[in-house]
Amino acid sequence: MGGNGGAGGQAFDGEAQKKVIYQLVVRVFGNTNETRAVDGTLAENGSGKFADIDDKAIAEIKSLGATHIWLTGVLRQATLTEHDSVGLAADDPDVVKGRAGSFYAIRDYYDVCPDYAVDPAARMAEFEALVARIHAADLKVMIDLVPNHVARGYASVVKPELDFGKNDDKSVFFSSANNFFYLPDPAGQALGLQKPADWNPSGVAFDGLFGPEDGGSGRVPRATGNNVTSPNPSVNDWYETVKLNYGFNFADPGASSFDPIPDTWNKVDDILSYWQDKGVDGFRVDFAHYVPTEAWGSILANAKQRKPDTYFVAEAYENLQGLLGAGFDAVYLDAAVDTLKRLYLGKASLDDVDGLLGSFDSPVRKLYLTYLENHDERRIASPIVPGDNPDATGFGAANAGRQLGPLLFLYSNGPVLMYNGQEVGEVGAGREGFGGDDGRTTIFDYWSMPAFVGWVNNHQYDGAGLSAEQVALRSYYKDLLALSQAPEIRGNRYWGLRYLNNPGANPDANGSLFPFARFAEGGGSVVVVVSNFGVGGDAGGPIRLPEELLVSAGLKDGPLALTLLLDGSGNKDEAIGNVERSQLATEGFPVSVANQSANVYRIGP
């Protein structure tokens, strides 16, 4: 119905800035090595460095529209790479995914990855200098918090006294005082691991065993990160990680206990304090719904007591309201990109999109982070893969962002995420190593992004190596992100318009068009986003606005200016003419939207 968030909500705060988070994967961002050998070593394929992210790179990210930079994968992870010069040995290959290792198998929560340092001995100083550069550009710094699990070989060289599991009772599966979950029955059983059949890096020996969990005295197998309680996790499990214990017994919830405060809470609190002291402004929290909300209520409150503006975003697919209630500033709106992918697969309708976007009231809508890409999602430009699983497909072309970006980036005054490489149409094609040929840029292997290196251009960050189409796409995203800071988009109101603009409600309407309106309560103007979801051609027709919306937006009687703010070809700020307020609810205003594209209009004084 026309309500779709059209009633209620708080007044617009004109000083509020919409958060635009740029996800920067340090390993690949500044890496211009184009060898890209499958399963290549650090010496072969290279790695991005903290130093690569210089003042010019940061200025370009800011000019793109970012307010925050999420430095992805900076914490030291389990890896097959030795750094003997600083006393860091390679990990057991049976518990590492990829040559470089997964960003989400943390080996030391108080350290950063030496791969990213020009001088591995000075790796923390180089990280701190990067934080200072980002702050000097008036941007905020975010890093990962991976609270549900750690690498099987977790052992800190910075704060070994705070290692997880040091004082655990390994004779029981669960104790709220323990940091891990143990598998003590039957006595003496060993952890048994399988190597994925298609991962065969040269010179690496696998034996399916892991010494610290081989069943010997004090070496008890532990539950795997994705809640697997078998000593023989499968190749599809998070076998390289172990589950952390916050006092919630996932196998027997009735046995859970949070009093006294579980030790894991205190250790995670110390980790956050450590990084806050180093100037980190926020955290993207991995798989936050696997940690009990009771723990989050305490941990987040402590962090915000130290630094009230610390920003926490939860990657979560369950218990979203519970996480927001526990103190998260935003949660992923994964359902949005999944619904759009199902639409592309023919498994959903525009009514499904309309229902989802209209299902949140005004105060809640701004708490959902929207995106089209991140490291877990297939690249927009990766092929469409028929089927029922939205996670298994891309959108088929980089320019799909011109149709979908306005929907998700302008949908609310909540945060949006831009993933490095998205702005130049990175495809994620080909097999990199452990990452496989899955339409994603690998988080396991040493690699570089084929399209993105053209923008980096030997660290000139000027795009001189891009094609004209790639240059145009980056320019489009820049304009779109600038538009996301418009007063109407930073306002509190969303109004779905499909109910009034479909052939059933208006014979002149075009059912291929998906329109919605954004405005600040009483602001005097309205922005209308219209996407064309027809197949193979332009689509046009009238777009009507209900009288209730016009009143809520504070549009005055008489002629109003109609402006094209942005279209899919990059045309922007074009005056179209005037439209009478009185005709908006009856006749509407005419639009013509190019194939697989979206137009953004402003109606106001």
User: Tens digits of per-residue pLDDT, 479-514?
Assistant: 999 999 999 999 999 999 999 999 999 899 999 999
- Within a 13 Å sphere around the CA of 482, how many CA atoms are in the beta-carbon half? 13
Q: Between the CA of residue 308 and those of 244, 311, 460, what are the distances in Å?
A: 26, 9, 37
Instruction: Please give, one letter per residue, the 3-state secondary structure of 59-120.
Output: HHHHHHCCCEEEEECCEEECCCCCEHHHCECCCCHHHCCCCCCCCCCEEEEEEECHHHCCCH
DSSP 524: S
Tell me if 235 is assigned to some domain.
no
pLDDT computed for residue 6 by the predictor: 33
Split at pLDDT 50, 70, 90, the class of 10 is very low
Q: pLDDT by residue (tens digit) across 162-180?
A: 999 999 999 999 999 999 9
Q: What is the pTM of this model?
A: 0.97
Query: Residue 4: what pLDDT?
Result: 40
Tell me the pLDDT tens digit for each residue of 422-462.
Answer: 999 999 999 999 999 999 999 999 999 999 999 999 999 99
C-alpha–C-alpha distance, residues 226 and 153, integer Å: 16
Share of residues in the chain with pLDDT > 70 (%): 98
Following DSSP, what letter does each residue of 262-303 receive, concatenated?
Answer: PHHHHHHHHHHHHHHHTT--EEEETTGGGS-HHHHHHHHHHH
Look at residue 463 and give its three-state secondary structure.
coil
**CB distance 475 to 401 below 8 Å:** no
Rounded mean pLDDT, 332-359: 97
User: Phi-psi region for residue 425, left (φ > 0), alpha (ψ -120 to 50) or beta?
Assistant: left
CB-CB contact of 294 with 257 (8 Å): no
The candidate with the shortest Cα–Cα distance to 146, out of 226, 86, 67, is 226
Q: In sequence order, what E strands does 323-455 have?
A: 330-332, 368-371, 416-419
Say yes or no to pLDDT of 1 above 60: no
Tell me how far CA of residue 9 lies from CA of 326, 330, 521, in angstroms. 21, 17, 8
Q: Is the peptide bond before 120 cis (omega within 30 degrees of 0)?
A: no
Residue 496 belongs to what domain range?
A: 487-604
Count of C-beta atoms within a 10 Å radius of residue 129: 14
Gap between the Cα atoms of 303 and 439, Å rounded: 36
Is position 525 within any domain?
A: yes
3-state secondary structure of 351: helix
The answer to whether the beta carbons of residues 66 and 84 sit under 8 Å apart is: no
The C-alpha atoms of residue 419 and residue 11 are separated, in whole angstroms, by: 31
- For the stretch 366-413, pLDDT in tens is 999 999 999 999 999 999 999 999 999 999 999 999 999 999 999 999
Structure-model confidence comparison of residues 566 and 536, the more confident one: 566
Taking alpha carbons only, the member of 209, 295, 210 closest to residue 244 is 295
Which CATH number characterizes residue 560's domain?
2.60.40.1180
Q: Report the domain count for the chain.
A: 1
* Assigned domain for 21 exists: no
How is residue 18 annotated by DSSP?
Answer: -
Question: Looking at the domain assignment, is residue 521 inside a domain?
Answer: yes
Residue 11's pLDDT is what? 38
Quick one: pLDDT at residue 7? 30
The set of residues, in sequence order, having a beta carbon less than 8 Å from that of 233 and lying 6+ positions away, is 193, 224, 239
Q: With H, G, I as helix, E, B as strand and everything else as coil, classify residue 231.
A: coil
Whole-Å CA distances, 575 to 579, 591, 603: 12, 13, 10
Helix axis angle, 350-357 to 334-344, nearest 10°: 170
Q: Residue 361 has what pLDDT?
A: 81
In a domain, 458, yes or no: no
Q: What is the pLDDT of residue 536?
A: 85
Looking at residue 231, its pLDDT comes to 98
Q: Is residue 114 part of a domain?
A: no
Residue 103, pLDDT score: 97
pLDDT at 330 over 80: yes
Q: Please state the rounded mean pLDDT for residues 134-152.
A: 98
Measure Cα distances from 302 to 36, 248, 306, 316, 477 in Å.
44, 20, 6, 21, 37
Examine the pLDDT at 12 and tell me if it is beyond 50: no
CA nearest neighbour of 541 among 571, 568, 575, 514: 514
**What band does 362 get if pLDDT is binned at 50, 70 and 90?**
confident
Average pLDDT, the chain: 96
196: buried, middle or exposed (CB in 10 Å: 19+, 13-18, 0-12)?
middle
Distance, in Å, from the CA atom of 420 to the CA atom of 403, rounded to the nearest integer, reads 19
| Percent above pLDDT 90 for the chain | 96
Q: Which amino acid is at 315?
A: E
Q: What is the DSSP string of 149-181?
A: EEETT---SS-GGG-TTTT--TTSS--TT-SB-
Any domain includes 501: yes
Q: What pLDDT is attached to residue 8?
A: 29
Per-residue pLDDT for 465 more than 70? yes
> Is position 553 within any domain?
yes
Average pLDDT of span 309-318:
98
